[in-house]
Each structure stands twice: as structure tokens, then as C-alpha cells.
């Protein structure tokens, strides 16, 4: 309609830079307490799929490029771009379950916690992200290393179909049978994806009959030998056992040890029965270093909700974060020995390293038809976590120095969901197999020839 204001085009809200609501909307678009100094010109809080198409039309008419956010967990804040139009999808949080077909339909802003709650009455499960507040949009677009992904595969393997709005405003359904090239890219392209996903249809799994977890905590000085023993054991365990190391810069005192840096060896079994879970976890009891553990957690039943509570404590809100990842050909013994030296001198006692052993299935059937792929024998994520804005520079430098020590050749692979995209210009490219990277560039040119969508953040 002639004369209609831009805001009137939307069921949701259009916020311009300079508006009273702008600062809070920009801050809310990044979960991280550390907010990048980048400023979109316009933020559209979409209330519907139609709003997404309208936002793209408006951006094209005004010559603005576009970025999107679902839950804002990207540590680098890729969603904030200077002079752009940010499509905020946080209102698209619907989640419905079809138990008869073992499928779910979810909006991009639905979180792992939302999905766990929705699935609970139906005894069904999905490999949700480890942190409960991570939204499905960014998580699934990046591939998704979720709970029990050693058995179930990357979470995007269970994406059956998506609805997208393309750069030219078309609304399409994508699957292996329809718009298959866009569907391939949507399963791994992450923040460089060149369309907006408005809905996911997900395949579900029967809920494990028993989830049991156990753990051994050691002084950080034991990282090398503990990692050497545990890696060999972990790779021989059934695929429904998730094994992870967590290196922490500080640990609470125990009955046998004062406070200090720690390495936790955690194992979680997703089994049919409690007895099966206990049997799968039994190798933990034979750890040759058990006598030197400062804390032993006996096997205990748990749930996806309780696992989420533990992760929420490790990655609390209202903190400042920087993160980077590494896929490597090196062993966990080598990598964790290097990282232990860095963690021991972390400027913040809240910082940590997470290193899951074989974090995703290696079954080719579960890795087919997706841009995501594992890129090394070992994998880790290093998180600098702090609260004082005056310590921003110190913690950012510590993270980059720590990751440089873990990857002295500078040729290690990355995981697009959590890599430090501003560390160097090759970060995004190194998150993909070379042929997949080339295909992503070709598809970007085909589906977004006018470069409406921002691609990967770079220095």
C-alpha cells in the first residue's frame, strides 16, 4: 500500500538503530555477555514466516545485507553485522510432536530444553545440544554435536525436512528429494547459510531405557596419563557411551585434595536397561589411576534434563565468553597435555576445555548428504569464561595462545559452530573438507547471487 510505513509490513517488530528499544534488542541478540562492537541498522523481530519474507524484501529494497539469529549462542556474535538488517527469529519457538510417525516439528528458536520437555510425555528423544539454552536453528545448521551423537550421529542427520525463505523471497520446502542441494548445505553450513530456516521436521529416537553417568576427577597434572588410558578404553566402548574430558582452571577442595586445576573423566551410557548401562560403564572402575583421583562419582541414573542442568552450571549465563575448537590428527594424550599447561595458567578460574572422545558417529550412513563432517581423530573446545569487562583482552589473548599451543602447525580443522571466526581468515574454510567448502561457495553463488546474506565472519 503506498505510504505504508516499513514497520506496518510486519506482524512482529521493526527496530531501527537509534530507537529506544534498539540497545536492548541488539544486546538480546547475543547470548554471550561479551557483546561485539558491531551494529545492525535494523532489527526485525519476526513473528511469522511471512515476516521473514517481508524482511528480506525490505532489505533488498534498502540495499542492506542480512544476518539471522535463533538463540544467539554463537560465541563470535556472527549475527551482529554493521549496517545490516538482522532477522531475529527468537519468536519462532513452536515445537510439536507427532508420536505416531516419531517426528517433531520445531521453529528455529526452540531450544534443546524446549524439545526435551516436549518429548518427555512420549518416551522419545533427540540428540539435543549439551547446553539447554542453545536454539535448534544455529545448532542444526552447524551440524550439531549433541548428546549420544556417537550412536545417533550428528544431530543434523535427523533433520528430515526444512522450510526456508531464500534470498529472492521464495518460501521452499527442502529435503533429500526436493531442493536437495540447499538441504545439503543446511546440514552443516552454520552461520554462512544462504537462506533463512523457519521450520525443521526432525526424526526422533526411542528414549533410552536408562541413562547412567559416572566420573573420575584428577589433579590437572595427571592429564597426560589419564587421557592416554581413557582414550584407548573409550574407543572400545559401545557407541552408546559418551566419554569426555573436562579440564578446569579451578576445582573445589575435596576430602583428599585442596582447591586446584582438575581433569574430569566423565562417561555417560544411553542404554536399554540400567544393568546394560552399568556393564557399559564398568571399565571406569578399572582405571589404573583411580587411587589418585580426588573425587569419584559412582554410577548414578540421570536424564536429559539433569544432564542439561550440569551443562548450565558449566556455561552460566551473564558471563563473558570466547571459544575456539580444534579437530586434530594428534592423540588426546598429546592434546590434553598441551592444554593442561595452558589451563593451569588461565587468567580466569572459570575457563575450561571440553574434549569428547569420538564426539560423533563415524558411520558413513549417518554422515551422508551433509556439509558437516568430522575433520580429525581428536576434538576439543577451549572456553575462556570470565565476568570482568576489564579482563576482556587478557582472556581473549589467553584463548588464542592456548589454541596456538594445541595446533602448532596451524593446519588443524575447526567446527563452525564454536570456532573463533575472527582469529584468522581461514577459520571458516578450515571447518570443512576442501570439496565441501568449494561446493558451499558454488551454492552460495547460485542461491544468493546478489550476496544478500552475510557469509562467514572474518577478521
Q: CA 259 to CA 256: how far, in whole Å?
A: 10
pLDDT at 7: 76
pLDDT at 5: 73
Say if CB 360 and CB 345 are below 8 A apart: no
**What are the two backbone dihedrals, phi and then psi, of residue 135, each rounded to the nearest 5 degrees?**
-80, 150
**What are the two backbone dihedrals, phi and then psi, of residue 62, each rounded to the nearest 5 degrees?**
-100, 0
Cα torsion for 433, 379, 69, 146, to the nearest 10°? 110
Q: Is the entire prediction scored with pTM above 0.85?
A: yes
C-alpha cell at 427: 577459520
The SS3 of residue 359 is coil
Q: Which residues of 8-46 are buried (b: 16+ CB within 10 A; e: fewer)?
A: ebbebbbbeeeeeebeebbebbbbbbbebebebbbbbbb
What fold does the segment set 210-431 form as a domain? Vanillyl-alcohol Oxidase; Chain A, domain 3 (3.40.462)
Say if CB 79 and CB 69 are below 8 A apart: yes
Say if CB 138 and CB 190 are below 8 A apart: yes
- Domain coordinates of the chain in residue numbers? 6-88, 95-207+436-447, 210-431
Say if CB 126 and CB 204 are below 8 A apart: yes
DSSP 208: P
Q: CA 207 to CA 229: how far, in whole Å?
A: 31
What fold does the segment set 95-207+436-447 form as a domain? 3.30.465
Q: CA 173 to CA 49: how far, in whole Å?
A: 13
pLDDT at 4: 63
A 10 A CB-CB count for 454 gives 18
Q: What Cα–Cα distance (Å) separates residue 34 from each residue in 70, 273, 295, 422, 458?
A: 18, 43, 33, 14, 18
pLDDT at 1: 45
Q: CA 197 to CA 210: how far, in whole Å?
A: 34
Q: CA 153 to CA 127: how far, in whole Å?
A: 8
pLDDT at 317: 87
**Given this chain, do its domains 6-88 and 95-207+436-447 carry the same CATH topology?**
no
Looking at domain 6-88, which of 3.30.470.30, 3.10.180.10, 2.102.10.10, 3.30.43.10 is its CATH number? Answer: 3.30.43.10
Residues of the chain predicted below pLDDT 70: 1-4
C-alpha cell at 204: 526422533
C-alpha cell at 247: 579440564
Say if CB 423 and CB 324 are below 8 A apart: yes
Amino acid at each position: 500500500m503506498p505510504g505504508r510505513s516499513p514497520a506496518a509490513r510486519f506482524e512482529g517488530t521493526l527496530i531501527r538503530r537509534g530507537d529506544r528499544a534498539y540497545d536492548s534488542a541488539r544486546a538480546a541478540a547475543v547470548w554471550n555477555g561479551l557483546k561485539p562492537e558491531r551494529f545492525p541498522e535494523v532489527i526485525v523481530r519476526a513473528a511469522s514466516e511471512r515476516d521473514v519474507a517481508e524482511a528480506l524484501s525490505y532489505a533488498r529494497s534498502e540495499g542492506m545485507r542480512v544476518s539471522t539469529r535463533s538463540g544467539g549462542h554463537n560465541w563470535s556474535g556472527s549475527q551482529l553485522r554493521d549496517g545490516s538488517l538482522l532477522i531475529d527469529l527468537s519468536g519462532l519457538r513452536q515445537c510439536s510432536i507427532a508420536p505416531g510417525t516419531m517426528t517433531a516439528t520445531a521453529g528455529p528458536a526452540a531450544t534443546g530444553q524446549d524439545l526435551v520437555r516436549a518429548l518427555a510425555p512420549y518416551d522419545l528423544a533427540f540428540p539435543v545440544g549439551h547446553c539447554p539454552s542453545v536454539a535448534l536453528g544455529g545448532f542444526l545448521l552447524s551440524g550439531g554435536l549433541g548428546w549420544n551423537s556417537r550412536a545417533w550421529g550428528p544431530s543434523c542427520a535427523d533433520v528430515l525436512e526444512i522450510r526456508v525463505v531464500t534470498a529472492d523471497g521464495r518460501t521452499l520446502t527442502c529435503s533429500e528429494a526436493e531442493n536437495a542441494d540447499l538441504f545439503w548445505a543446511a546440514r552443516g553450513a552454520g552461520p554462512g547459510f544462504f537462506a533463512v530456516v523457519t521450520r525443521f521436521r526432525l526424526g526422533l529416537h526411542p528414549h533410552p531405557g536408562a541413562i547412567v553417568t559416572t566420573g573420575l576427577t584428577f589433579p590437572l597434572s595427571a592429564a597426560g596419563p589419564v587421557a592416554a588410558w581413557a582414550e584407548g578404553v573409550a574407543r572400545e566402548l559401545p557407541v552408546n557411551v559418551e566419554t569426555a574430558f573436562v579440564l578446569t582452571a579451578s576445582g573445589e577442595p575435596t576430602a583428599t585434595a585442596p582447591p586446584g586445576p582438575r581433569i574430569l573423566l566423565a562417561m555417560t551410557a544411553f542404554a536399554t536397561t540400567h544393568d546394560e548401562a552399568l556393564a557399559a560403564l564398568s571399565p571406569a572402575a578399572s582405571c589404573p589411576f583411580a587411587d589418585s583421583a580426588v573425587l569419584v562419582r559412582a554410577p548414578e541414573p540421570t536424564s536429559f534434563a539433569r544432564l542439561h542442568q550440569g551443562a548450565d552450571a558449566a556455561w552460566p549465563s551473564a558471563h563473558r565468553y570466547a571459544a575456539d575448537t580444534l579437530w586434530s590428527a594428534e592423540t588426546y594424550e598429546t592434546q590434553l597435555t598441551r592444554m593442561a599447561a595452558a589451563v593451569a595458567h588461565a587468567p580466569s578460574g572459570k575457563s575450561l576445555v571440553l574434549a569428547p572422545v569420538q564426539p560423533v558417529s563415524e558411520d558413513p550412513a549417518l554422515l551422508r548428504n551433509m556439509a558437516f563432517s568430522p575433520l580429525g581423530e581428536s576434538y576439543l573446545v577451549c572456553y575462556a569464561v570470565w565476568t570482568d569487562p576489564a579482563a576482556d583482552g587478557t582472556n581473549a589473548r589467553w584463548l588464542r595462545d592456548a589454541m596456538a599451543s594445541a595446533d602448532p602447525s596451524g593446519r588443524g580443522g575447526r567446527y563452525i559452530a564454536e570456532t573463533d571466526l575472527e582469529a584468522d581468515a581461514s577459520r571458516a574454510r578450515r571447518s570443512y573438507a576442501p570439496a565441501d567448502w568449494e561446493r558451499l561457495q558454488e551454492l552460495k553463488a547460485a542461491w544468493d547471487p546478489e550476496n544478500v546474506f552475510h557469509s562467514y565472519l572474518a577478521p
